Amino acid sequence: GIPVPLADLLTPNFLQAPELMFSEDRYHPSAAGYALAANQLLPALCHALGEWTGATVPDLPWAARSEDRSLAARLRPVTRLLRRRTTGVPAPIVVTAS
């Protein structure tokens, strides 16, 4: 198969236009976000199925873009998640009766 590094390919778009790429819950991709992911997967999928009707399959980046970015830049999406407000109520622990 052909690996498709979705995180490396999609992150710049999601960071540049989060209001467009994320749905209202700010967690799941919007229709535009899913379309962007599908556009990245389609050439590799068609090639794997032997159905590629376009030109040659475009070369995919084999080196992770994260190698070119500083640690602070790579951690920025994680710190956004850590700043989210929560209810403060811990999740229940379920124990089966024995």
Per-residue pLDDT tens for 40-90? 888 888 877 777 666 665 555 544 554 556 777 767 777 766 776 767 777
Q: How far apart are CA 9 and CA 12, in angstroms?
A: 7
Q: How far apart are CA 66 and CA 62, in angstroms?
A: 12
Name the pTM for this structure: 0.49
pLDDT digits (tens, 9 = 90+) for 5-54: 888 899 999 999 999 999 998 899 999 999 999 888 888 888 777 776 66
CB 44 within 8 A of CB 2: yes
